[in-house]
């Protein structure tokens, strides 16, 4: 079927179900960042392969919203279909609710698959559409009816993440969760986000690439826990372990029946941001609701001592892999050009050789020269660039290990650099240090601190169009909330034990891209009367190339930070390297 034919089939169904429009996006029932192929429904329907983007179809029109990263790609992929591209983020572009307000009438019936839309999404849309008496119909999954060879729900095996890695037993975690439930007088807690389930149960899976999750739901009550999952994923050993902790396995979709049975005396806690409409609307009307972020989010974000100790070892291994990669790069480029794809494979190979490595934590961004100016560039065999002995090569990569998750970006000078490239590299480094070296009062959020990284860039009228940093999981998503470092308002305090990246950058279209990224853990600094101060402690052990630095632009304090950082890097890695590698590292970590 062509895209237009698919849309006509969709419209036939819309008519049958009496819908005036239908919304589709690539989201799974758990609001995951990465989704299994089964849930790439918008991709199937529209042909647009980007990770984010909403398709809206009315009886006469269809439109797809894609953000700046995808303007060019979407234009290409939608070409030949009737779908009009809506460039999200431009001032002239209508938002989805504005477009719907214009293209529908009062009393309109809006269809969407309730399994993939959160309650919050639907209620926001409802609030913002200016038409009267609109109705949302969430019970049809029309793409499922049309998509003949739709992939199955992944059925990969789960594995245990034992307490020697996780730091806490399943029982300890559940006890803490129940304490929170008691505080809020809740009898039930619905957890539908896969990272929270994996963390709570100390298990991991392989259902989603880069993210070691198991497609499932969890329902915690005061005296028992139901784990809704395809049973074949859970082997006998795991099942037994879970049963010992009073956790019973139930079929993946049975959660709905259980929620329908709730009564007046029950109070159900769930997060409206991440719980889908199918789940929410199955909660018995008699039951009371408590709509707040689930408590595991914050518990999970604050890494425990064992996790932090393990993560340190994990980061040393990751640093070793990076150093070996950087040496390989330096040697190889002397002899021949290197493809971006080969370089990306190479860094994964070096990681693979490290103990407890499982998989990359995301698909590496391996970008030479002007390609690095595209923040989400992905090199493909057919149209990659080849690294030469000049300008910058940017590599953003990371690994999933039993003892942690890593994320690091280095921008590597491949040979001769222009004055501008050096200037931008130095400003980016200043931005990195200005935040990494800051102390802050306990209570400050990432949106309070974000500007510290931008200030050295803003002074020269430069900016980067993304956040400064994000939380990082522990054998979990490389992007993990609720904390982050961005200008967008958020109320999450940076707490002791939280991991965040700091990754300012400068991206000059058609020319070059620079980003310098380390992972940090938030630790306590001094206490002054009642004021607790906090600071960032570095967790990434890999040299930051000093060759492109214009030293005169750095303050004494900044030079000191860099020298201390490099002496620590050498200290941690040297004993794990051979003579030759150690000599290389000695040179790279030399005092500035």
Q: How far is the CB of 154 from a copy of itself (least distance, A)?
A: 38
Q: Which stretch binds a copy of itself (CB under 8 A): 44-52, 358-366, 470-478, 521-529?
A: 521-529
Provide φ and ψ at 140, rounded to 5°: -100, 140
Q: Which is nearer to a copy of itself, 265 or 336 (CB)?
A: 265
The answer to whether 289 and 227 are in contact (CB under 8 A) is no
List 451, 466, 553, 559, residue binding a copy of itself (CB under 8 A): 451
List 52, 299, 327, 444, residue binding a copy of itself (CB under 8 A): 444
Q: Is 525 in the site for a copy of itself (CB under 8 A)?
A: yes
Q: Is 68 in the site for a copy of itself (CB under 8 A)?
A: no
Q: Which stretch binds a copy of itself (CB under 8 A): 190-198, 385-393, 397-405, 446-454?
A: 446-454
Q: Is 266 in the site for a copy of itself (CB under 8 A)?
A: no
Q: Which residues, 531 to 590, sit near a copy of itself by CB under 8 A?
A: 531, 533
Q: Which two three-digit tokens encode residue 158?
A: 């789960």
Cα 20 to Cα 107: distance, rounded to the nearest angstrom: 10
The answer to whether 476 and 212 are in contact (CB under 8 A) is yes
Compose the 457-476 pattern: x for residues touching a copy of itself by CB under 8 A, - for all others.
-xx-xxx-------------
List 528, 552, 578, 580, residue binding a copy of itself (CB under 8 A): 528
Q: Is 490 in the site for a copy of itself (CB under 8 A)?
A: yes
Cα 52 to Cα 24: distance, rounded to the nearest angstrom: 11
**For the chain, give me the number of helices (H) and strands (E)?**
19, 30
Looking from the CA of 216 toward its CB, the CA atoms found within 13 Å total 35
Q: Is 487 in the site for a copy of itself (CB under 8 A)?
A: yes
Q: Is 89 in the site for a copy of itself (CB under 8 A)?
A: no
Q: Which is nearer to a copy of itself, 6 or 454 (CB)?
A: 454
Q: Which is nearer to a copy of itself, 179 or 352 (CB)?
A: 179
- How far is CA 32 from its chain centroid? 9
Q: Which residues, 276 to 335, sit near a copy of itself by CB under 8 A?
A: none
Cα 249 to Cα 504: distance, rounded to the nearest angstrom: 44
Cα 579 to Cα 208: distance, rounded to the nearest angstrom: 40
Compose the 163-202 pattern: x for residues touching a copy of itself by CB under 8 A, - for all others.
----------------------x-----------------
List 236, 381, 489, 580, residue binding a copy of itself (CB under 8 A): 489
173-186 in b/e form (b: 16+ CB < 10 A) is: bbeebbebbeeeeb
Q: What are the beta bridge partners of residue 281?
A: none
- Return the HEC string of 189-254: EEECCHHHHHHHHCEECCCECCECCCCCEEEEECCCEEEECCHHHCCHHHHHHHHHCCEEEECHHH
Contacting residues toward a copy of itself, per CB under 8 A: 130, 185, 438-441, 443-445, 447-452, 454-455, 458-459, 461-463, 487, 489-491, 525-526, 528, 531, 533
């Amino acid at each position: 079927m062509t895209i237009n034919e698919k849309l006509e089939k969709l419209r036939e169904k819309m008519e049958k179900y009496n819908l005036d429009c239908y919304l589709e996006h690539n989201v799974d029932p758990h609001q995951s960042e990465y989704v299994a192929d089964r849930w790439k429904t918008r991709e199937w329907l529209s042909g647009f392969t980007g990770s984010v983007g909403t398709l809206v179809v009315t009886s006469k029109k269809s439109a797809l919203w894609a953000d700046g990263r995808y303007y060019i790609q979407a234009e290409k992929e939608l070409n030949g279909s009737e779908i009009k591209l809506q460039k999200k983020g431009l001032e002239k572009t209508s938002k989805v609710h504005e477009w719907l307000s214009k293209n529908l009438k009062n009393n309109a019936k809006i269809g969407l698959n309730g399994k993939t839309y959160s309650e919050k999404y639907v209620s926001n849309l409802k609030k913002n559409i200016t038409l009267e008496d609109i109705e949302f119909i969430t019970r049809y999954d029309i793409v499922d009816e049309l998509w003949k060879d739709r992939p199955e729900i992944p059925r990969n095996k789960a594995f245990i993440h034992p307490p020697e890695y996780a730091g806490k037993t399943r029982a300890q975690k559940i006890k803490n969760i129940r304490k929170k439930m008691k505080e809020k007088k809740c009898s039930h807690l619905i957890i539908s986000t896969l990272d929270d389930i994996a963390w709570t149960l100390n298990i991991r899976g392989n259902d989603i690439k880069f993210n070691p999750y198991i497609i499932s739901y969890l329902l915690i009550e005061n005296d028992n826990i139901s784990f809704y999952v395809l049973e074949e994923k859970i082997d006998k050993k795991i099942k037994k372990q879970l049963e010992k902790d009073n956790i019973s396995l139930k079929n993946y979709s049975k959660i709905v029946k259980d929620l329908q049975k709730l009564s007046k005396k029950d109070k159900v806690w769930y997060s409206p941001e991440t719980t889908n409409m199918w789940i929410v609307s199955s909660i018995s009307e008699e039951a009371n609701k408590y709509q707040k972020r689930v408590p595991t989010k914050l518990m999970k974000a604050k890494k425990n001592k064992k996790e932090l100790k393990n993560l340190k070892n994990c980061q040393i291994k990751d640093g070793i892999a990076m150093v070996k990669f950087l040496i390989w790069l330096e040697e190889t480029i002397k002899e021949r050009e290197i493809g971006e794809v080969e370089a990306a494979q190479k860094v994964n190979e070096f990681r693979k050789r490290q103990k407890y490595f499982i998989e990359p934590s995301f698909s590496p961004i391996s970008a030479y020269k002007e390609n690095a100016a595209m923040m989400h560039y992905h090199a493909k065999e057919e149209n990659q660039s080849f690294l030469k002995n000049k300008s910058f090569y940017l590599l953003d990569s990371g690994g999933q290990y039993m003892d942690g998750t890593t994320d690091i970006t280095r921008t590597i000078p491949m040979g001769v650099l222009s004055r501008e490239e050096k200037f931008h590299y130095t400003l980016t480094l200043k931005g990195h240090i200005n935040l990494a070296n800051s102390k802050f009062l306990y209570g400050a959020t990432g949106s309070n601190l974000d500007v510290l990284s931008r200030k050295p860039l803003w002074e020269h009228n430069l900016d980067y169009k993304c956040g400064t940093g994000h939380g990082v999981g522990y054998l979990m998503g490389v992007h993990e909330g609720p904390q982050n470092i961005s200008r967008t308002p958020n109320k999450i305090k940076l707490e002791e034990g939280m991991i965040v990246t700091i990754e300012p950058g400068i991206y000059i279209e058609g020319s070059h891209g620079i980003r310098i990224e380390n992972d940090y853990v938030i630790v306590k600094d001094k206490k002054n009367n009642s004021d607790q101060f906090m600071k960032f402690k570095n967790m990434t052990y890999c040299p930051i190339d000093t060759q492109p630095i214009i030293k005169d632009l750095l303050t004494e304090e900044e030079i000191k930070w860099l020298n201390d950082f490099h002496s620590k890097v050498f200290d941690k890695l040297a004993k794990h390297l051979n003579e030759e590698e150690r000599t290389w590292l000695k040179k790279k970590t030399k005092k500035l």
